[in-house]
Structure 1
Amino acid sequence: MHYSVILNPTAGNGRAASIGKKIQEHLTQANADFDLQSTKDESSARYFAHRLSQSHDASDTTVIVIGGDGTLHDVLNGLKEDANRQQEPLPLAYIPASGLSRFARAYGISANPDDALQQILAANTTTNIAIGRCHDAIKDEDNYFLNSVGIGFDAAMISQAGRQRRRRHFRWGHFSFLLHSLAVLYDQQPFQLMLTQHQHRTPYPKAYLVVVNNHPFTDSGIQLTSSTGLHKPSLDLTIAERRGWPLTFWQLRQFYRGKLPTSRFASHFTGSRFHCTTTSLEFSQIDGEERGNRFIDLEFRIDHYPFRQTPLTSSTH
């Protein structure tokens, strides 16, 4: 087996660089056949994935990503763009640069890099996991996601969290969550959302929070109790509307506790296909990556991708 390693040395506040050195040493000691490429900018990971998919065969190559969920997202999308040109897509494996990885928690990947590597080396077969496909009808482009897509409040909160991390004093406690929630809601206006599912259209005239999940761990750091997992062919959609400040406070509290999908003050759907549109410019995010302010015309579907990594058992992660 050949291992093609894509390393983002800046991930995890630079921790990924030292992780990459240790992984190289372990692979060399194990007499593994491998090569390593380090990203230089935001487009490098996807570019490397393109090159690998065009020059390697899925039967004897595994792509190992060392970095954050954003790096994994970029590599996945680079590989998926070329997947239709080959018989099988190149399997993925992941070594997270920090313990904050939502995907690692959902899949069962150790936060310890050495253990995560052993999970890769121990894998004899691939496992097809569920991923989300997000088609932007306005731009006519596809984007694949492993964790979640957020529109409105969720995307704005991720933007807030990113600014706090850059200032190196980010902590998502109950009080700080509510404090930043108020700041976000002060600037955010409710928007008109149209949901189409099974050819049935449902309007939400005062939507402010829309989250599509591939598994329970959202990119905003919330664990939603009713969300599906990576081995179930379905997505979760949660929509909340503004109905006065007291109720909004209650919704936010339930969202922080992961109980909003099961609340009667929100709409929750499970399915393999959704279509969401807005009549106004709204913030959005995909796998924690901000996508700016834009009109929303997104169709969500279930897709699959092979991973070559033995997951931890539920009792060990």
Structure 2
Amino acid sequence: MSTKWFIVINPTSGNGASKKKWPAIYTELIHQNFEFEFAFTEYEKHSIILIQNALNKGFTKIICVGGDGTIHNVVNAVLSLNPKNLQQIKIGIIPIGTGNDWVKTYHISKDYKEAIKIIKAEKTIVQDIGKLQIKCSGKEIYFNNLAGIGFDGYVVNKVHKYKNLGFLAYFTGAIVSLTSYKRSNLKIVFNKTTLQGKTLMLLIGIGTYSGGGMRLTQNPNAIDGLFDITYVNKITLFTILSNIRGLFNGNITKLKFVQNYKTSNLKVIVLDTQETYIQADGEIIGSGNFNVSILPKAINFIVA
């Protein structure tokens, strides 16, 4: 087992900020006495191959330099390989991205020097992970923060146009998309509950924040073995605009048109013919029917 760190850098994170900041991050890692190897991702999902190669070489300590999508890919790389020493693997994050939502739950600093100090201390939490199985493709996708279908996926599919706006990208995309989105006819089954009808969106939360700092689930707990579910049948542009503060402080989830649930698994069936996007950790992963289950305390993350 290697005591060295393997570092994967997404050079496109934060509109290219990762690539620009890497020389300074490299110098700081040396200054803080890290032994490491590193690699840049060169194309979408390349991090999955890089991480799998690193695990096969015996690395158990991994650092992501990038945003939520980079963390998402690293988690998928680790769990898709299903290593026998999974409990020994630790993932640390130097956050450089558009939303940086997952790190907000754990108060991980966006200052790279502080983030490196946090990683060096190696304080870990064993966090739950979501496993999403898409029926039509047979794909299995893991997520560490939040997944969703409906309006949420629709916005993520469009939000790349607004990446230059940083953390406001998702909010801007949501406002622009609200007038054009047609609600999907969904059947959602979990526990002894069935929700069916025209649906604005369904959110499946593990972490606290999404969409650039919004709090769209009511009572998430990343280690309780349960998803925090938010179900919204319908909402108007006026309601959103009059509750902007509620989007960011969580009060939006207390409004009467928002339903909140807790469950460890659920089934989603799309009842109409329009393509309905599924997103996981801010990445479009497919469309159509899917099942979701939780993997309790599945991965060690290094946190503040």
Q: TM-score range by the shorter chain?
A: 0.7 to 0.9
Separation in 1, partners of 2:175, 2:94: 35
1:256 aligns with 2:255: no
SS at match of 1:114: helix
Separation in 2, partners of 1:170, 1:111: 13
2:133 corresponds to: 135
1:121 aligns with 2:117: no
Separation in 2, partners of 1:253, 1:202: 30
1:56 corresponds to: 58
1:295 pairs, out of 288, 292, 303, with 288
Q: How does 1:268-279 map to 2 (within 5 A)?
A: 268-279=260-271
SS at match of 1:194: strand
2:20 pairs, out of 18, 23, 28, with 18
SS at match of 1:133: strand
Q: How does 1:1-317 map to 2 (within 5 A)?
A: 1-56=3-58, 61-86=60-85, 88=87, 90-98=89-97, 100-123=99-122, 126-165=124-163, 168-169=164-165, 172=168, 177=171, 181=174, 183-198=176-191, 200-219=192-211, 221-224=213-216, 226-242=218-234, 249-250=238-239, 253-254=242-243, 256=247, 258-280=250-272, 281-292=275-286, 294-307=287-300, 309-311=302-304
TM-score by length of 2: 0.86
Cα RMSD (Å): 2.7
Separation in 1, partners of 2:27, 2:218: 41
Mark the CA change 1:308 to 1:197 in structure 2 (over 3 Å): closer, same or farther.
Answer: closer
Deviation at 1:212? 1.0
Q: Is the 8 A contact 2:203 2:230 kept in 1?
A: yes
Separation in 1, partners of 2:182, 2:206: 27
- How many residues matched? 297
Mark the CA change 1:232 to 1:161 in structure 2 (over 3 Å): closer, same or farther.
Answer: same
Q: Is the 8 A contact 1:275 1:297 kept in 2?
A: yes
SS at match of 1:233: coil
Separation in 2, partners of 1:156, 1:221: 18
**Structure 1, unaligned runs of 5 or more:** 312-317
**AA matched with 2:137:** K
**AA matched with 2:58:** H
SS at match of 2:15: coil
SS at match of 1:105: helix
Deviation at 1:230? 2.4
Deviation at 1:96? 0.5
The 10-residue stretch of structure 1 (15-24 or 257-266) with the greater mean CA deviation from structure 2: 257-266
Separation in 2, partners of 1:21, 1:99: 20
Identity between Structure 1 and Structure 2 (%): 21
